[in-house]
Structure 1
Amino acid sequence: MDPSSTAVVRFGTHRIPRSLRDLPVLPGSGADSAPDLTGHRRLIVLGSAHELSSVLTALMRADRLDVEVAHVRRPWQAGRARTGTATRVPLIRDETGSVITGAAYWLPPEGQRTLHGEGVVDDERLFDGDVTGVRIEPTSSMPGLRATVLTGPMRPKRWISGRAAQLGTTGATVVRDGVTGKRPVRRSTFYRHTEGWLRVGRG
Structure 2
Amino acid sequence: MQRISAQFLARRIAGHSGRMLLLHCADSDSTGNDPAALPAPLATAAEDGRLVVSRLSAVPERKELAAALDSSPGRVIVVGSDTALSAVMTRLMRTENLEREVAFVTPEAGPATAVHGLPHSDEAAVLALEGSARPANLARDESGQAIVGRAVWRGADRGALDGQVYADSQHVFTGTTLFVELVPMSGEPGVRVATAEKHGLLRRRKWFEARAVQIGTPGILIERDGVLAKRPVKRASMYKHVEPMLLVRP
1:34, 1:62 within 8 Å by CA — same for their partners in 2?
A: no
Measure, in 2, the Cα distance between the counterparts of 1:182 and 1:200: 33
Q: Deviations over 1:6-35 (max 9, x none)?
A: 111111124222322321112332444235
Question: Does the residue aligned with 1:4 lie in a helix, a strand or coil?
Answer: coil
Which residues of structure 2 form unaligned runs of 5+?
Answer: 1-14, 27-34, 107-120
Aligned to 2:7: none
Deviation at 1:168, TM superposition (A): 0.4
Aligned to 2:40: 18
Give the aligned residue type for 1:146.
R
Aligned to 1:157: 205
Moved over 4 A (4+): none
Q: Do residues 122 (structure 1) and 122 (structure 2) align?
A: no
Q: Deviations over 1:39-59 (max 9, x none)?
A: 323111111001100000011
Deviation at 1:156, TM superposition (A): 6.3
Deviation at 1:148, TM superposition (A): 0.6
TM (norm. structure 1) is 0.90
Question: Does the residue aligned with 2:144 lie in a helix, a strand or coil?
Answer: coil
Give the aligned residue type for 1:142.
E
Measure, in 2, the Cα distance between the counterparts of 1:25 and 1:14: 14
Change (3 A) 1:24 1:111: closer
Is the strand fraction higher in 1 or 2?
1
Which residues of structure 1 form unaligned runs of 5+?
Answer: none
Measure, in 2, the Cα distance between the counterparts of 1:75 and 1:137: 26
Question: Does the residue aligned with 1:53 lie in a helix, a strand or coil?
Answer: helix
Structural RMSD (CA): 1.8
Q: Do residues 141 (structure 1) and 155 (structure 2) align?
A: no
Measure, in 1, the Cα distance between the counterparts of 2:209 and 2:67: 34
Give the aligned residue type for 2:23.
V
Measure, in 2, the Cα distance between the counterparts of 1:62 and 1:20: 27
Larger Rg: 2
Aligned length: 199
Q: Which moved more, 1:171-180 or 1:18-27?
A: 18-27
Measure, in 2, the Cα distance between the counterparts of 1:50 and 1:82: 21
Q: Do residues 41 (structure 1) and 74 (structure 2) align?
A: yes
Change (3 A) 1:101 1:188: same
2:19, 2:52 within 8 Å by CA — same for their partners in 1?
A: no
Q: Which moved more, 1:16-25 or 1:76-85?
A: 16-25
Q: 127, 138, 141: which is aligned to 1:80?
A: 127
Aligned to 2:139: 92
1:30, 1:55 within 8 Å by CA — same for their partners in 2?
A: no
Aligned to 1:64: 97
Aligned to 1:6: 20
Work out which structure has the larger RCO, using CA pairs closer than 8 Å and 6 or more positions apart in sequence.
1
Aligned to 1:176: 224
Give the aligned residue type for 1:70.
A
Deviation at 1:106, TM superposition (A): 0.7
TM (norm. structure 2) is 0.74
Deviation at 1:175, TM superposition (A): 0.5
1:34, 1:59 within 8 Å by CA — same for their partners in 2?
A: no
How much identity, in percent, do the aligned residues show? 35
Aligned to 1:27: 55
